[in-house]
Structure 1
Amino acid sequence: MLSRSLLCLALAAASTATFADTVWLKNGDRLTGTIRVFDGNKLVLETDYGGTIPLDWKKVATLESDRELLIKQGDVEGERAKSLHRADEGKVILANGDAPKEVELASIDQIMKPKPLVEDLTWTGNVDLALDYKRAEKDTDDYDVDFSTKARHGRWRHNASGEYNREFTNEVKTTDNWEVEYALDRFLTDQFFWQGRGEYKRDKVEELARQRTLGTGPGYQFWDDELGAFSLASLVNRSDYQFSDGSKENFYSLSLKWDYNRYLIGKTVEFFTTGEVGRPLDNTADYSLDAEMGLRYKLTDWASLNMKAEKDQVSGADGEIDETRYTVGFGVGW
């Protein structure tokens, strides 16, 4: 009897530790799990019995949690609540020491777990695959694979990305290129960082066959939280170009890089855009642009469908490039 009682207590304690959050619905149902985020009128609750469940915010009566959560009322105002306590229907109590505060659910715009400014180790990334086979007057086989990943350790952040494109038209190779990039960020404050990066591009079809770029400069992280991130970096670069006829040129340039992603509709849809626009200092070209923009729709916690548009342009130089690609494919994330 004693061992059975201890087992019951252990199971109860484990259940309480795993599922610390409770949501009461207006129809009387009660759901337990872990509150991940509230945004776009959807409260995302992670459970062991139904996976990740998006709940209509208008159907929520009240909720409680013993975890610290960031409660945002309005676009700017936010409050870290040490815990949430159940209240009357349509309300919740924010517990912060000796001054608990009752607020209307309708006044809350976002709920998310506060993200530490400096974390020991985090690692995120995506791998996207797109295939296109067309059999008609012109047969087309198109392959596109790309990846991006970030790892944060203390005040260091590692960024790596790469892409491979290959296309055949009537069994004739019309596109064959790949590129890789690595950037290392050192955070000087919670928002300001210094970046060093290296990039290499190889094209076996176009006139501009090889591109090598090394750059360094300051950057600013506007935000990085449960719903997305946005950062800008301004760099001084040294680029080396090699053309298919064997000729070479090199130049220095200034560029602006951006990296933006935002989760929508209860984290089921992600909008993202990354890119770089630059201008040579010796006027060998008007400007260069390498950018992508797209959407990911999450099928599961790790699988997604994606739509993406890519733009690669070098204007006003030998071997001008102006390419736009549209892809639809499948991806995995972590």
Structure 2
Amino acid sequence: MFSKTLLCLALSVVATSALADTVWLKNGDRLSGKIKFYDGGKLLLQTDYGGAIALDWSKIATLESDQELLIKETAVAGERAKSLQAAEPGKVVLANGDEPKTIELASIKQILKPKPLVEDLTVKGNLDAALDYKRAESDTDDYDIDLKSQARHGLWRHNAQAGYNREFQDDVVTTDNWNAEYALDRFLDEHWFWQGRLEYERDQVEDLQRQRTVGTGPGYQFWDNELGAFSVAGLLNRSDYEYANGESDRFYALSMKWDYNRYLVGKSVELFSTGEVGKPLANVADYTLDAAMGLRYKLTDWASLNMKAEKDLVSGSEGELDETHYSLGFGVGW
């Protein structure tokens, strides 16, 4: 009876091991876990002994997996593999029934879990909410919600942002504004892309009540992987400003946008910054600045605490604006 129990236990361990993905490194080490994805020169391996481990692709000799994975050798086309089998160093076998295919690791651009409809669709984003209540000589209630989401398929990337901020002081509305933005990126190669953008801002309190912007221009993606991303874009914009006194301005402007985030301390902390600095090609304003910078601390795989500072500045115009806003709140990510 005892020997049967040991046998069952051994078979269970073997079966469990067989289900785990395995990565062999060039230095002879072997790691087991679950392959999450490969992108940007890093393979993310989820383990039960060290959490998520980012492995340098150039250090990998070969690998195997029982998962069905999408293997992309170009930015557009991909091939489904029912499983991966180990091969000689520098290669891997794509197992698809009776016709296995051996390819070079160096030829692989991405490894993803295939989606039901759009196989190589990747989506990420955050929804952050902050509530601030101050009870003193002057009572203040502040509500702030920000949404940012990004979806990429092949050479196309969709970027969407929206935000809402409302503040009361002694039951009087002192801040009430919202904004929405959509940008479409078309990648020309691994780093360069062309962006088109639409943006709308509405303020119920400030002199500058409405801002509408249409822009286009080139961008450069420095990196985009599981440890973070950093991109910049230079845009030629057409902007329409409407003021509370009924006057309006319509002008062209040059601007630079940036989008940066970096995961630290085993991906438990995220440093992020987004913004745009612009120079109107008219005497409407000296310059404009709309920027945010903050930290997120992950409580779970999807929940986080966030702390953020935002700066909104329009200098040298009739509707001059200079606001700095700080928030601390809760968010969800995907």
Q: Quickly say closer, same or farther: Cα 1:210–1:82, change in 2 above 3 A.
A: same
Could you tell me how far 1:19 is from its partner in structure 2? 2.9
Q: Residue 56 of structure 2 aligns to which amino acid in structure 1?
A: I
Q: Distance in 1 between matches of 2:149 and 2:90?
A: 42
Give 1:97's aligned residue. Answer: 88
- Whether the 8 Å contact between 2:62 and 2:89 is mirrored in structure 1 is no
Q: Residue 166 of structure 2 aligns to which amino acid in structure 1?
A: R
After superposition, residues 70-109 of structure 1 pair within 5 angstroms as: 70-71=55-56, 78-83=58-63, 97-98=88-89
Q: Does 2:110 match 1:116?
A: yes
Q: Quickly say closer, same or farther: Cα 1:13–1:166, change in 2 above 3 A.
A: farther
Give 1:308's aligned residue. Answer: 308
After superposition, residues 147-296 of structure 1 pair within 5 angstroms as: 147-296=147-296
- Whether the 8 Å contact between 2:260 and 2:274 is mirrored in structure 1 is yes
- Normalised to the residue count of structure 1, the TM-score between the two structures is 0.73
Q: Residue 71 of structure 1 aligns to which amino acid in structure 2?
A: D
Give 2:142's aligned residue. Answer: 142
Which deviates further from its counterpart, 280-289 or 170-179? 280-289
Could you tell me how far 1:262 is from its partner in structure 2? 0.5
Q: Residue 281 of structure 2 aligns to which amino acid in structure 1?
A: L
Cα deviation per residue 1:236-271 (whole Å; 9 max; x = unaligned)? 000000001111111100000001110001100000
Match of 2:110, SS? coil
Give 2:20's aligned residue. Answer: 19
Could you tell me how far 1:96 is from its partner in structure 2? 8.2
Q: Quickly say closer, same or farther: Cα 1:18–1:233, change in 2 above 3 A.
A: farther
Which stretches in structure 2 are left out of the alignment for 5+ residues? 1-7, 24-30, 38-43, 65-85, 92-107, 113-118
Q: Distance in 1 between matches of 2:128 and 2:253?
A: 30
Q: Distance in 2 between matches of 1:117 and 1:244?
A: 52
- Normalised to the residue count of structure 2, the TM-score between the two structures is 0.73
Identical columns (%): 61
Could you tell me how far 1:282 is from its partner in structure 2? 1.5
Could you tell me how far 1:98 is from its partner in structure 2? 4.5
Q: Distance in 2 between matches of 1:115 and 1:326?
A: 40
Which deviates further from its counterpart, 277-286 or 189-198? 277-286
Q: Quickly say closer, same or farther: Cα 1:223–1:18, change in 2 above 3 A.
A: farther
Q: Quickly say closer, same or farther: Cα 1:181–1:270, change in 2 above 3 A.
A: same
- Whether the 8 Å contact between 2:33 and 2:45 is mirrored in structure 1 is no
- Whether the 8 Å contact between 1:280 and 1:287 is mirrored in structure 2 is yes
Q: Residue 248 of structure 1 aligns to which amino acid in structure 2?
A: S
Count of residue correspondences:
272
Q: Distance in 2 between matches of 1:137 and 1:221?
A: 49
Q: Quickly say closer, same or farther: Cα 1:98–1:268, change in 2 above 3 A.
A: closer
Q: Quickly say closer, same or farther: Cα 1:240–1:19, change in 2 above 3 A.
A: same
- Whether the 8 Å contact between 1:44 and 1:266 is mirrored in structure 2 is no
Q: Distance in 2 between matches of 1:187 and 1:54?
A: 29
Which stretches in structure 1 are left out of the alignment for 5+ residues? 1-6, 23-30, 38-42, 56-68, 73-77, 85-94, 101-113
Q: Distance in 2 between matches of 1:319 and 1:237?
A: 19
Could you tell me how far 1:134 is from its partner in structure 2? 1.3
Task: Please give the root-mean-square deviation of Cα atoms over the aligned residues, in Å.
Answer: 3.3
- Whether the 8 Å contact between 1:70 and 1:81 is mirrored in structure 2 is no
Q: Distance in 2 between matches of 1:33 and 1:123?
A: 23
Could you tell me how far 1:34 is from its partner in structure 2? 3.6
Q: Residue 196 of structure 1 aligns to which amino acid in structure 2?
A: G
Match of 1:82, SS? strand
Q: Distance in 2 between matches of 1:324 and 1:117?
A: 42
Q: Distance in 1 between matches of 2:195 and 2:90?
A: 43
- Whether the 8 Å contact between 1:162 and 1:180 is mirrored in structure 2 is yes
- Whether the 8 Å contact between 2:60 and 2:90 is mirrored in structure 1 is no
Q: Distance in 2 between matches of 1:251 and 1:158?
A: 26
